[in-house]
Amino acid sequence: MTSIELTSTGMAPDWLKRDQVFEFLKPAASSRLDLSHNCILYLEDLSVSFDGFKAINNLNLYIEPGELRCIIGPNGAGKTTMMDIITGKTQPDSGQAWFGQKIDLLKLSEAEIAEAGIGRKFQKPTVFEQLSVFENLELSMSGSKGVWPTFRASINSEQHDRIDETLQMIGLKALYTRPAGVLSHGQKQWLEIGMLLMQNPKLLLVDEPVAGMTHQEMDRTGELLTSLAGERSVVVVEHDMDFVRSIARTVTVLHQGSVLAEGTMDQVQNNSKVIEVYLGE
Ligand SMILES: Nc1ncnc2c1ncn2[C@@H]1O[C@H](COP(=O)(O)OP(=O)(O)OP(=O)(O)O)[C@@H](O)[C@H]1O
Ligand SMILES: [Mg+2]
């Protein structure tokens, strides 16, 4: 019998794993996104506990294709944890999470979820400071991961146009040669949103986008997020009520890990349960 050489980690090489499905044989998850029931994100009866504390408690949430949804709620309500579950960072104890009709998010890894078309913007911008605005977008284009600068030489005119379009959208066209490090805080946030857009997400999750922004930057961010909805769904978690009011259509209020109220900004602000929760903060 021939012996099989193990890899440096002592594991059998990948080609030996019989259940392996090679990447190129897998259908792109995004092509499986089925929106036939007019629902792009479907969270049902989700619960997760940390050391016995229920951070998410029988949470139900439905987002429609193209919707811009704002999520508000006091500190510790479970807003970020909900995003952690959607993006595969946290596994719930029970419940369901579906992307469209057919993609079961709880069966996918973080990378597979991103690949399937869910982009997430964290609060702190993580742009490459030494690279130019253009290069940051170039690097984030789908399929380019890890092969830059080899990829760079082969950027075609279609890809160039996409970067151009994105620069236009995020309002940084005039600054495309600038190193990202010299941008203002707000501009870095927009660049990062642009970097996410290069991956063509169908659902964009944005956690506290306007924290630390000037009023002018906030207005611009509101316009940007509003313009992004329609073609994709956008879920925005934000504490700044003036900002939420300026962009909100449907607002969901989370409290103690579940939905306390849902409706227009006026409806939720006049809801007695919501008033009680915010006054008690
Ligand atoms: N990985 C974790 N381990 C332990 N506890 C956690 C973990 N993640 C979140 N929690 C707890 O779960 C609760 C919900 O936290 P979460 O960060 O989701 O709230 P949030 O609504 O995003 O609050 P904020 O508005 O302050 O950002 C908090 O009590 C938090 O301490
Ligand atoms: Mg949070």
Q: Cα(79) to centroid of ligand 2, in Å?
A: 5
- pLDDT value, residue 153: 58
Q: Residues lining ligand 1, CB < 6 A?
A: 50, 55, 73, 75-81
Four-way CATH pick for 68-83+117-279: 1.10.3720.10, 3.40.190.120, 3.40.50.300, 3.20.20.70: 3.40.50.300
- pLDDT value, residue 246: 95
Ligand showing the shortest atom-to-Cα distance for residue 84: 1
Q: For atom 30 of ligand 1, which residue has the closest CA?
A: 76
* Residues forming a β-bridge with 46: 59
Q: Cα(120) to centroid of ligand 2, in Å?
A: 13
Residue ranges in the chain modelled with pLDDT below 70: 1-31, 142-154, 280-281
Q: Cα(80) to centroid of ligand 2, in Å?
A: 4
Q: For atom 26 of ligand 1, which residue has the closest CA?
A: 75
Q: For atom 6 of ligand 1, which residue has the closest CA?
A: 50
- pLDDT value, residue 248: 83
Q: Cα(165) to centroid of ligand 1, in Å?
A: 36
- pLDDT value, residue 7: 47
**pTM (two decimals):** 0.86
- Strand 53-63: give its sheet, edge to edge: 53-63, 41-50, 94-99, 103-104
- pLDDT value, residue 281: 61
* Residues forming a β-bridge with 62: 42
Strands 258-263 and 250-255: antiparallel
- Per the structure block, which two tokens stand in for 163? 């970067």
Ligand 1 atom closest to Cα of 208? Answer: 27
* Digit-coded pLDDT (tens) for 116-146: 999 999 877 789 999 999 999 999 885 544 5
- pLDDT value, residue 208: 93
Contacts of 221 (CB under 8 A, 6+ apart): 186, 189, 190, 209, 210, 213, 243
Q: Cα(73) to centroid of ligand 2, in Å?
A: 9
Q: Are 63 and 240 spatial neighbours (Cβ–Cβ below 8 Å)?
A: no
Strands 103-104 and 94-99: antiparallel
